Amino acid sequence: MKNIKFLALFLIISTNTFAISYQISQTNNSSETQKRPTKPPAKKDQQEPIPSLRVVQEELSQAEKDFEIAKKMFNPWYGGPLITGSGATLPQGLINVQPYIYYAVNYAAYDGNRKSNSIKNITEINPKLNLAVGITDRIDIGILIDWLHVKRGLESSNHFADTTIGLDIGIIKETPFIPGLKFTLSESFPTGKYEKFNPTKAAVESSGSGSYETSFALTTSKVVWWSLLHPMVFRFSVNYTIPTKVNVSGFNSYGGGFGTRGTITPGNEFFLSFGYEFSVYQKFVLAIDLAYEYQNKSTFKGTNGTILGLLAPVGARSKDVLSLAPAIEYNFSENLSLISGAWFSLRGRNTANFATGIITLTYTF
């Protein structure tokens, strides 16, 4: 009985204490409310809904996936495909050195109907050296030096090829949304052998055109991130070349024979190429070029000369060729790349059917 009395007393005291505390709390809240300006109650349609646990879990999972992808992303390195250049110029003060070795086999010739006819193999070993320096951040200048070894059966020759000097001018600098674009003006000088061939070696003596050739080119390129783990580069270039007339004598790069003497007007040339690079990872890149070349006919005025008592042909009909160049790039660093691949004809007219192996090292410092 005593215990029940103590319990009832405890309940009465607790209830009174809670009531007093609640009254004090309400009085304080009422006082603060009077001091603050009143706000209209929020409308139900303005209240943000509380996301469900499922939605929160999905957002967390996506954030984790994005974080894992971000950890695997990298700054891509590119040495360039074999044929199509970059739309960017070399930054001021930097120098690029790029030696090449071409090994080509002309194993057939396309006729005027695009039929490939077998010929005795003509092999060419062609080391090249390209040097470039950045004058400003938008202008660079370069030189391409060629040496050519040609062999057919037991006959062979070794000569310098034509030398080219080029000036690149940056028009648009690449941004995350805009491709880079540059204009190139180049001049080819006739440092190769183009006339007065040894009649017994005429098929392998040619290493130049004999013409001063002025070229104009526009090149664009863009890095795209369609795949965050495998960025890629698209490149496109269009080139137009205007050669000067050439005085020739004897056996020459345009035909000829004994007693040939006159002037060749070489045909203008149009060259179009599309390049693509795919980053497998930062150091390893797959690349490919698709190229098309067209040259107008080359005409001759003068004395044709003779071969075996017959009138010697001089000049050339118009020609074109479609070719492909797949390659593999290995980038040792951002500034040093090794590129190796093949370049071969797919279809042509009045030109050689060829297959070429190419290896090049490019270093910028």
pLDDT band at 143 (very low <50, low <70, confident <90, very high): very high
Nearest Cα neighbor of 223 from 180, 172, 184 is 180
Nearest Cα neighbor of 198 from 158, 228, 246, 162 is 158
What's the count of helices (H) and strands (E) in the chain, helices before strands? 3, 18
In sequence order, the 6+-apart residues with CB closer than 8 A to the CB of 233 are 76, 78, 221, 222, 223, 224, 275, 276, 277
Given this model, what pLDDT does residue 54 score? 75
Tokens encoding 204: 């392998």
pLDDT digits (tens, 9 = 90+) for 95-123: 999 999 999 999 999 999 999 999 999 99
Topology of domain 98-364, CATH: Porin (2.40.160)
pLDDT digits (tens, 9 = 90+) for 20-75: 444 444 444 444 444 444 455 545 455 667 777 777 677 776 766 666 666 555 68
Which range (54-63, 179-188, 248-257) has the least confidence? 54-63
In the predicted model, what is the mean pLDDT of the chain?
Answer: 87
pLDDT digits (tens, 9 = 90+) for 152-182: 999 999 999 999 999 999 999 999 899 999 9
Given this model, what pLDDT does residue 85 score? 94
The single-letter code of the amino acid at 19 is: A
Given this model, what pLDDT does residue 210 score? 96
In sequence order, the 6+-apart residues with CB closer than 8 A to the CB of 341 are 81, 82, 287, 325, 326, 327, 328, 357, 358
Q: Let me know if 214 is exposed, middle or buried by CB neighbors in 10 A (0-12, 13-18, 19+).
A: middle
Nearest Cα neighbor of 233 from 244, 241, 242, 221 is 221
Q: How many Cβ atoms sit within 10 Å of the Cβ of residue 119?
A: 14
Given this model, what pLDDT does residue 9 score? 42
Alpha carbon 147 to its chain centroid, in Å, reads 25
Tokens encoding 125: 């070993």
Tokens encoding 145: 């030096």
Tokens encoding 67: 């974080």
Domain regions of the chain by residue span = 98-364
The single-letter code of the amino acid at 208 is: G
Given this model, what pLDDT does residue 153 score? 92
Calculate the CA dihedral of residues 224, 229, 230, 231 and round it to 10 degrees.
20
Given this model, what pLDDT does residue 49 score? 75
Mean pLDDT of 262-289: 96
Given this model, what pLDDT does residue 144 score? 98
Given this model, what pLDDT does residue 65 score? 64
Tell me the whole-structure pTM to 2 decimals: 0.79
> Cβ distance 325 to 313 under 8 Å?
no
DSSP letters spanning 110-139 = E-TTS-EEEEEEEEEEEEEEEEEEESSSSE
Given this model, what pLDDT does residue 62 score? 73
Given this model, what pLDDT does residue 18 score? 42
Percentage of the chain lying above the pLDDT 90 cut? 76
